[in-house]
Structure 1
């Protein structure tokens, strides 16, 4: 059962990183400032989700040493910050006309 959970997390991490790269390319290629901001916000949200998933995978896959728990907690905090900053920026840019 734990092996299946690990594989599900790996697939979700890969999917989130691919979505993040896609929105990064779209953000850099967009000429419209509003769409650039929306794509950057979506990239931040997917990167935050990816960081949270990496932290969960790291905490489940390896034995709990102090350093790994601290690094996992930092990844979770950084991921939550990216997720909420992306959500805030997405709402600001979608409200623009």
Structure 2
């Protein structure tokens, strides 16, 4: 990943930590304009499937966030799932997504 500002680097660190802690296929972190962060991992249940970024966006929205500033996704997948991009774009189509394979 390219050099990140400290707030975006924090998102990457949070996503990496969540993935390491849970062993999930991917983890994501998002930040709202107030500086609050929301972290989530892949959800793969018989009745509910979410990418990590979809889950993080859902956590932010359920906590009252109306928009998001940035996101980070850590995964082994070679590309970001289009559904993940769409979830973030629903709140801010211009928000950067820092994507890393680890």
Bin of the TM-score, shorter chain as denominator length: under 0.3
Question: Normalized per residue, which structure has more helix?
Answer: 1
If asked which structure has higher relative contact order (CA below 8 Å, sep 6+), I would say 1
TM-score by length of 2: 0.26
Question: Normalized per residue, which structure has more strand?
Answer: 2
